[in-house]
Amino acid sequence: MRISIWRPSSHTFAPLCVQKHKQAPICSFPFVAFLFILGTLFANLRDLRAARAALFSMTQPTTDAGRGHAAPVIRLQSVQKSFALPNGEVFDAVQSLSLDIQQGDVFGLIGKSGAGKSTLLRLINLLERPDAGKVLVGGRDLTTLSRRELRDTRQNIGMIFQQFNLLQNATVFDNVAFPLKIHGRHSKAEIDARVRECLALVGLAEKIDTYPAQLSGGQKQRVAIARALAPRPQVLLCDEPTSALDSETTRSLLETLREINQKIGVTIVIVTHELSVVEVLCRNVAILEKGRLVEQFAVDAPSEERKTALGREIDELVRRREREARLPVVPRPASVQRNALEAAYV
Ligand SMILES: Nc1ncnc2c1ncn2[C@@H]1O[C@H](COP(=O)(O)OP(=O)(O)O)[C@@H](O)[C@H]1O
Ligand SMILES: [Mg+2]
């Protein structure tokens, strides 16, 4: 069957039809081609709507259907993940877990080793596909997306790892440019400008032409952060990002993450086993035990109602910091105020 298009006449308005006609058509093509054109049109419309929604959600806080209060940027609804073990048993790593994370938050996920923290984090960008439940990011249920839609949506979710996962044979520039190049929608000039912007954000502008092997651990993690931020994600997932770093480097990296959250408003979800990381960086925290969420609270509000030992430990760290902040600064006695070397440089 062929589809033909005629010029509309006075007695009929049927420019598109499959009937026989006396005049010669303007054009004519097989029915299969017609279906193909329709399909392409619909796909592009859907992409356009998705792009507009993504752009909109980068600049505007999402609200619950206009009811005025912010909708979570991440919503996990009864997610479940099991692994088949070599001995034939099934291990439930995440069990019917629901969690909301608000836009702009810095959210900690803590728990003992094996509690399911990394699995839960990987469910948020669908690196692990849940066996049941929904994973909504920016209002879209990722479990319903096609492979291509998921690839596009993942640009909205950056991730960094304990071991940095940089490309060893690529320069810092090429590492940060990588997610922009594979997406293929950016000009060379745009990529160049964005890479420089991201490296400046993590304080590594001068390392642009070096290779990962020439960097310290902290610098490698900064490159990984710059790479994750390059596609302007709404969410940054961090799996034990400071576990391979010494305490001094950890402090400075946490400061960088805090600055990034404040400057660009990216939502940070951080898995860690270091309670000091939660105390210094996070606004909210969830505690996992055996794949279940057992407790969730705002870090700056210690309470007598904590259910878990980890919760009580975090409260204790917060209270200690508050006590220390209230202590008056005691001036050193004049005799020990300056040693000879200090005095020489005053
Ligand atoms: N691909 C897998 N196959 C089998 N078991 C897994 C797999 N991934 C994780 N697990 C198991 O699930 C549990 C939770 O793992 P994980 O999420 O990595 O814990 P955490 O990050 O809290 O240490 C662990 O007992 C781990 O052995
Ligand atoms: Mg882990």
Residue with CA nearest ligand 1 atom 16:
116
* Whether residue 41 has pLDDT greater than 70: no
Return the ligand number nearest the Cα of 290: 1
Average pLDDT over residues 69-95: 93
Please give all residues whose beta carbon lies within 6 A of any atom in ligand 1, as ranges: 83, 91, 93, 111, 113-119
Confidence of residue 14 (pLDDT cuts 50, 70, 90): very low
Confidence of residue 25 (pLDDT cuts 50, 70, 90): low
Q: Would you say 265 and 104 are in contact if contact means Cβ atoms under 8 Å apart?
A: yes
* C-alpha 14 – ligand 1 centre gap (Å): 62
Residue with CA nearest ligand 1 atom 20:
114
Q: Which of 79, 85, 91 to mutate to test the pocket of ligand 1 (most atoms within 8 A of CB)?
A: 91
Say which residue the tokens 């839609």 belong to: 149
pLDDT tens digits along 257-269: 999 999 999 999 9
* Whether residue 249 has pLDDT greater than 70: yes
Confidence of residue 30 (pLDDT cuts 50, 70, 90): low
What does DSSP say about strands 267-271 and 235-239: parallel, antiparallel, or unpaired? parallel
Confidence of residue 50 (pLDDT cuts 50, 70, 90): very low
CA distance 48 to 154: 17
* C-alpha 94 – ligand 2 centre gap (Å): 13
Return the ligand number nearest the Cα of 129: 1
| Ligand 1 closest atom vs CA 116 | 17
Residue with CA nearest ligand 1 atom 25:
114
The pLDDT, as a whole number, for residue 326 is 86
Positive or negative, the CA dihedral 269, 285, 131, 46 is negative
Say which residue the tokens 């034939």 belong to: 88
Positive or negative, the CA dihedral 55, 56, 61, 63 is negative
CA distance 87 to 181: 42
Return the ligand number nearest the Cα of 112: 1
Cβ within 8 Å of residue 86, ≥6 positions away: none
Return the ligand number nearest the Cα of 110: 1
pLDDT tens digits along 116-171: 999 999 999 999 999 999 999 999 999 999 999 999 999 999 999 999 999 999 99
The pLDDT, as a whole number, for residue 343 is 41
* C-alpha 145 – ligand 2 centre gap (Å): 26
SS3 (DSSP) at 87? coil
Q: Which of 10-24, 157-171, 299-313 is predicted with the least confidence, judged by mean pLDDT?
A: 10-24
| Ligand 1 closest atom vs CA 121 | 17
Q: Which of 79, 85, 109, 119 to mutate to test the pocket of ligand 1 (most atoms within 8 A of CB)?
A: 119
| Ligand 1 closest atom vs CA 85 | 4
